[in-house]
Amino acid sequence: MADKKDIITRFDATDDEPFALELAHGEAICFSDRSPAKETPNEDALAIIPVNHESTVLVVADGLGGMPAGEQASQIVIDCLIAALNDTKRQTRDAILDGIDAANTKILDLKTGAGTTVSIAEITGNNLRTYHAGDSLILLTTSHGNVKYQTLSHSPIGYALICGAIGQEQAMLHPERNLISNYVGCNDMHVTIGPIVELAPLDTLILSSDGLSDNLYEKEICELVRKGAMIDAIVELIQQCKKNMQETLPDRRCHPDDLTLISFRQSN
């Protein structure tokens, strides 16, 4: 594994602006801030974990609001993933799954009812593989603003949307949108592993807590990040998301929430 000093983590963060990082095979932008409607801790967490000169793991975790110790749960899953990936004898895929399993056990052992989502992107060269439990978004868009890959939310609304029972606007407005059926810290937790997807030079990858996807439609996210300097696009994305958190709009609920994201674009 790369030197631990190269690992980036953000816990209970209150970032004013996103910041850029140069990785071995691309650029990443990170941001995490608590909901504008609260003064309690930011329950989200993120990590950028270099594994070796070929691979980097990106992680976003969203501690479940309304449940005890959400910020503790999100930090546990990050810490367990870092520890698992530090074992160089394991394949990255196995280490990620072992790290999530270890976090699930630790959170259950707290016996507080705590839980967290987790969304992970493993980038090796120009290949992407995803892992997730919960409803935190992983979205890959092309330079034309088309969705190239997107994870399925582990929620009744997510399943209804994917099977065509409801539309995008109905899903966005649904009063049970934030109910999830799977997360780290539940007895029957499971991880969805995505296919290997090849990254093109101008593709943009977004991992985020649901503070983003509850306030912006996927097509809006794609349009905002698809072109130009990525730092400028993410600044505009955050500004629009926070504006929507404080406005009542006819096609979405006003939903203030913690907002955490990592964007990635590979080197040309």
240 burial (CB, 10 Å; 0-12 / 13-18 / 19+) is: middle
Per the CB < 8 A criterion, the answer to whether 163 and 154 are in contact is no
Which tens digit of pLDDT belongs to each residue from 63-112?
997 666 899 999 999 999 999 999 878 899 999 999 999 999 999 999 99
CA distance 145 to 168: 17
Cβ count near 243 (within 10 Å): 11
pTM for the model stands at 0.93
Which strand (E) or helix (H) includes residue 140? strand 137-141
pLDDT tens by residue, the chain, 268 residues: 555 668 999 999 999 999 999 998 899 999 999 999 888 999 999 999 999 888 999 999 999 976 668 999 999 999 999 999 998 788 999 999 999 999 999 999 999 999 999 999 999 999 999 999 999 999 999 999 999 999 988 876 777 777 888 877 766 766 776 788 899 999 999 999 999 999 998 999 999 999 999 899 999 999 999 989 999 999 999 999 999 998 888 887 778 899 999 999 998 6
What ranges in the chain are assigned the alpha helix state H? Answer: 70-85, 92-110, 156-162, 168-173, 210-213, 218-225, 230-245
CATH topology for the 4-266 domain: Phosphatase 2c; domain 1 (3.60.40)
Query: What residue segments make up the domains of the chain, in order of their start?
Result: 4-266
